[in-house]
Amino acid sequence: MQRRHELSDIEWEFVRPLLPVSLRARKRLDDRTVLNGIVWKFRALGRPLAFTVTDGTTNDCTQSTAVMDAIRVPRPGPGRPRIRPDHVLGDKGYSSRAIHARLRQRGVGHTIPERTDQIRNRLRRGCRGGRPPVFDKQLHEQRNVVERCFNRLKQRRGIATRYDKTAGSYPAAVALASLLMWARR
């Protein structure tokens, strides 16, 4: 009988090939029991495509290039994975010339609102201020899916409070939580 917050058989079959093989003579603990303990520790739908982990004082927008480069979406059947999203939705924190230029260079559509200081500076410059970037308000309203994904990740206490302090264990916890979010869909 499967208890709440335990891996189902389908999830276990999804995760089992990703586990390392023990090269020592010592017998390992039951991997499924260990993972059930980790899942219970996190307890908690959005589906993250990529993430980076930084210290708490780093601005999110500085990592946009690293996250965009980390995206790999497998294609059904043979072929290379997709590395370029169709469209990016962002909040005002991602409204910079560098991010807009990078997305345009890669041919990625984007809907990111302008900050009020950018609007004010553009209007102050008059005709030399350029055109405002295209902004689709209805499309931007779909950004709540991104926020809900963050909230689902943060429902897992170990991720929200960052119990795992090392540079290796915290990204592993986020990756496992993301993997489980994908598997439960």
pLDDT band at 37 (very low <50, low <70, confident <90, very high): low
pLDDT digit string (tens) for 54-93? 777 778 788 888 888 888 877 777 888 888 888 888 888 8
Angle 26-28-30 from CA coordinates, rounded to 5°: 155
What is the per-residue pLDDT across 116-171, written as a single tens digit (0 to 9) for each?
998 898 899 888 888 887 788 888 887 777 777 778 877 777 777 777 677 777 78
What contacts 95, CB < 8 A, 6 or more positions away? 112, 113, 114, 115, 118
* Band of residue 39 on the pLDDT scale cut at 50, 70, 90: low
pLDDT score of 97: 85
Domain extent listing, the chain: 1-20+29-44+156-185, 82-154
- Residue whose C-alpha is closest to residue 88's, from 72, 73, 107, 70: 107
Question: CA 26 → CA 18, 21, 22, 29, distances in Å?
Answer: 20, 12, 8, 10
Q: Which helix (H) or strand (E) holds 178?
A: helix 169-183
Asked if residue 14 lies in contact with residue 183, where contact means CB atoms within 8 angstroms, the answer is yes
**pTM for the complete prediction?**
0.60
CB distance 156 to 166 below 8 Å: no
